[in-house]
A and B are shown apart, each in its own frame.
Chain A
Amino acid sequence: MTPPDSASAPLDPLRRELILAQVQLMELEDTRDDLLTQLAAAQAQLAEAQQLADNALREQEFGASRHAALRDEHERLAATAAGLNAQLADAFTATAAQSARADALEQQLAIREREGAELAASASAATSRVAQLDAERRGMLASRSWRWTAPLRALERALRRHRGTSA
């Protein structure tokens, strides 16, 4: 049996601490390295977030100025539109009058057209009657009786001329 080493036993806790201090130092270095990595990442994220925020602010400012410009343009266009609306109202009024006038004229036109049609129908009937009468006349003039009575008519005309001359 080995007797306990009374000289070294009390030192063992210190030895253990000294050796484990090496491990603790390594753990602390790991933690430090991790934290440095995390810090660098956090700083990069902060810079990126700030950059994004600044970009957003610039975009917001650009949007605001654009909004103001658009609002001005809107107001200008609204004024123009109001003028145009007034003109349009006048035009509507004039158009309505013209429209009424056009309606009346259309009615007159219709009447005239109807009258025209009636006249055309009358003319057509008259023309037909003239043609009929002309045919009858030509028939009569071509008839034997007319030709045979021609001397009588000539005598009659002469008599008329003679009466006229003698009167």
Chain B
Amino acid sequence: MFRHELETPGPLQAPAGRLFLKGWCCAPGFDQAPAVRLICGTAAVAPRVRPERVDVAAALGLSTTARACGFEFVGELAPGVYLAKLEASLDGAAWHCVRRFSLVATTAPLRGSIEYPTTPTVGESVRIQGWCAHPQTRIRELHVHYGNRRIPCEIGLPRTDIGALAPTSPDVSRAGFITTKNIPVGHGALRLCARDEHGRRHFLATDRVVDVRTDEENPSPLDLAADAFRITPRRASAETLPPNRAARPHRVLFALYGDMTSNSALHVAALANELIARGHECIVAVPKNADTVRYHHGAKFRCVDFAGCGERAALFAGAASPDFVHAWTTSERVRRFATATCDATGARLVIHLEDHEGSIFAASEGRSEEELAALPAAALDRLVGDDHSHPLRRTEFLQRADGCTVILDRLAELLPPGKPSRVLWPAAAPEFCARPIPWPLREALGWSRDHTVLFYHGNLHPTNRGEMAELYGAVVALNDSGTPTTLLRAGRDFCALPDGLANRAAPHVLALGRVDRQEHLAPLLSLADCFVQPGSADTFNNYRFPSKLPEFFASGRPVILPRTNLGEHLRDGVDAVVLEHADAAGIADAVRRLRNDPALAAQLGSAAAEFARTRFSWARSADTLAEFYDALLAADRR
């Protein structure tokens, strides 16, 4: 009997509760257009207008008197999801549903106004007054916001003049408010933030700006209207081509010794992401706290606890087990997990070395490696625990591996003879890139252009305590000798510096604590004039690759470092300042040299960025790793 069409594009929504619905409905064969109405929940909405639809009449052969078959519904709806009905009637008594559809109404906007002060800019510390109401719900709490300020308000003050402005509001007669106190110093656009009876928050941008420079606690004017200091750009914008897809994708289970907050996790995460981009399947297993993967923004891999891997680590697509278990170092915890998984699945074992673990264990125990190896088995097991690498079992573990990866070429000396291996240099995340020094921020911090700023991100722990002491000592020495220097330090302290050095250095060290996300560190590095990696060639340093070095180089500042590990690959005065001993005196001398020779500092900054660009790349390291996996499989087939 009825024909109709809804002409408002679907899905039908009422943004901010405002309904608009257009269409037509007719009854061919009848001399009049049927009445229509919209049913939303319990409410029946009548059309605002019934326009004539000549086009519909012509198409359907309607009589002249039946042309007014168009309709437009306009109204306000409470927020919610409705099962709406379009109904039609020829006599106004019997209604027929001609169409049902969903209708989503979002919350109506908050309404209100600031009435005191009356000026567009609020320049004095006073109590702000006005009214605020929501058309659909009762307000339980109200704050005014400006800048970083959030000031509570008294609400429910009687008003008799709001009826025309918010007629449907439950608060229409008590919509007045006033801040509970004089607003304090601050700057910014003034907004109202209301919490309603359902706990929802509603915001209203007013036409006022707050620029209060003094208050009871700040009698001297503060200029808070100045531009905010920002270090930009934050994200690397360089577009890179997608890598080639692997001809034979591998399933790789990385077994990490700690959770995803460790430096090694950055390396594993970067390699896993790159391998996944090439079509490989990667899962990272950690002893516990797999949820720490949240610190790796945009991680493409899955992270699981060791316990969650099950016996066969059948976590890959199709409940498949891994082709490779890549054990990240030889700590006992990793060795046991990797060995058990390889035994159960037949996966090939690859072991990654990033330190001389024997010497680290020996240093931590204060004995030689030989002494430790000669201990009774039970005593040695107790000392090693889960976290260290077992002097004897490590050898068996390495012997068993199908291949090894090392972070530094020299670590290959520790592998069994003939063991296939590849060197995987770490790289920096793309956020670490050369940025100019943000001078406005530096100056706001009180560090003028003759002030030297060093940046070091890393924890202080017993293993690097001596080197950190040299760095702190250098900062003290520089300040003592009239070279004002500040060390910006991110990271945590797991031990104390020796001989009260911390107290002497305290005035010159600004400790920022731990920064959760590595990419957030990157812009902060631009505050520095140069970077320092303290230390000297020794058993510890010769076999490690300080993971912050790629980040230092990528940041485009001169780098001061000892002639060991990466230092052995650099030219002094060309790529970096390479010291035989990066101790306090050497570091202080190098900083002074850079301070006194801006041209050299600029040249070394450019050289550092160039070295990072050409030598540090996770993409290249991932290509090397994928090729290594291929080679190990090919060797198996032979």
Contact = CB atoms under 8 A, between A and B. Distances in A.
Instruction: Name the prevailing secondary structure of the A interface residues.
Output: helix
Contacts of B633: none
Contact of B441 (A2, A18, A61): A18
Given A9-B507, A54-B10, A19 B488 contact: yes
A22 B102 CA distance: 45
B510 A46 contact: no
Given A5-B507, A8-B507, A50-B11, A23 B515 contact: yes
A30 to B, nearest CB: 7
A5 B479 CA distance: 10
Interface in B423-474: 441, 444-446
B297 interface: yes
B10 A19 contact: no
B569 interface: no
Contact of B523 (A8, A15, A26): A26
Contacts of B517: 26-27, 30
B527 interface: yes
Contacts of B488: 19
B305 to A, nearest CB: 24
A22 B234 CA distance: 10
A151 interface: no
Interface in B481-535: 488, 504-508, 510-512, 515, 517, 519-520, 523-524, 527
B637 interface: no
Contacts of A35: none
A47 B511 CA distance: 49
A42 to B, nearest CB: 12
Interface size class of B (residues with CB under 8 A): 35 or more
B11 A54 contact: yes
A1 to B, nearest CB: 6
B441 to A, nearest CB: 7
B591 to A, nearest CB: 16
B100 A57 contact: yes
A47 B480 contact: no
A123 interface: no
A18 B441 CA distance: 9
A11 B102 contact: no
A60 B100 CA distance: 10
B6 to A, nearest CB: 10
Interface string A101-134: 0000000000000000000000000000000000
Contact of B512 (A16, A46, A51): A16
B104 A46 contact: yes
Contacts of A19: 445, 488, 510, 512, 524, 527
B12 interface: yes
Nearest to B504: A2
Interface in A1-53: 1-2, 4-5, 8-9, 11-12, 15-16, 18-20, 22-23, 25-27, 29-30, 46-47, 49-51, 53
Contact of A2 (B11, B12, B480): B480
A15 B488 CA distance: 10
A5 B231 CA distance: 27
Interface string B116-128: 0000000000000
Contact of A61 (B100, B102, B446, B504): B100
Interface in B204-230: 229-230
A165 B508 CA distance: 189
A18 B101 contact: no
A1 B479 CA distance: 11
A16 B229 CA distance: 14
Contacts of B527: 19
A54 B488 CA distance: 59
B133 interface: no
Given A19-B510, A57-B100, A50 B12 contact: yes
B476 interface: yes
Nearest to B100: A57
A47 B103 CA distance: 10
Contact of B234 (A9, A16, A29): A29
A27 B520 contact: yes
Contacts of A8: 446, 507
Contact of A5 (B100, B508, B520): B508
B512 A20 contact: yes
Nearest to B511: A16
B102 A54 contact: yes
Given A2-B479, A50-B11, A51-B10, A22 B104 contact: no
A5 B517 CA distance: 32
Given A9-B507, A29-B234, A53-B102, A47 B524 contact: no
A4 B444 contact: no
B446 A11 contact: yes
Contacts of A60: 100
A1 B445 contact: no
A47 B446 contact: no
Contact of B446 (A15, A26, A49): A15
A46 B15 CA distance: 13
* Max count, chain B CB within 10 A of own CB: residue among A8, A22, A47, A60: A22
B562 to A, nearest CB: 25
Contact of A18 (B11, B104, B445, B511): B445
A15 B445 contact: yes
Interface of A: 1-2, 4-5, 8-9, 11-12, 15-16, 18-20, 22-23, 25-27, 29-30, 46-47, 49-51, 53-54, 57, 60-61
Chain A to chain B: the 7 pairs with minimum beta-carbon distance, closest first? A50-B11, A5-B507, A53-B102, A57-B100, A50-B102, A26-B520, A23-B520
14 contacts: A2-B476, A2-B507, A2-B508, A4-B507, A5-B479, A19-B445, A20-B512, A23-B512, A26-B520, A27-B520, A46-B104, A50-B102, A50-B104, A51-B10
Given A2-B479, A20-B512, A22-B231, 10 more contacts: A4-B507, A12-B510, A15-B446, A23-B524, A26-B234, A46-B11, A47-B11, A49-B102, A54-B101, A57-B100
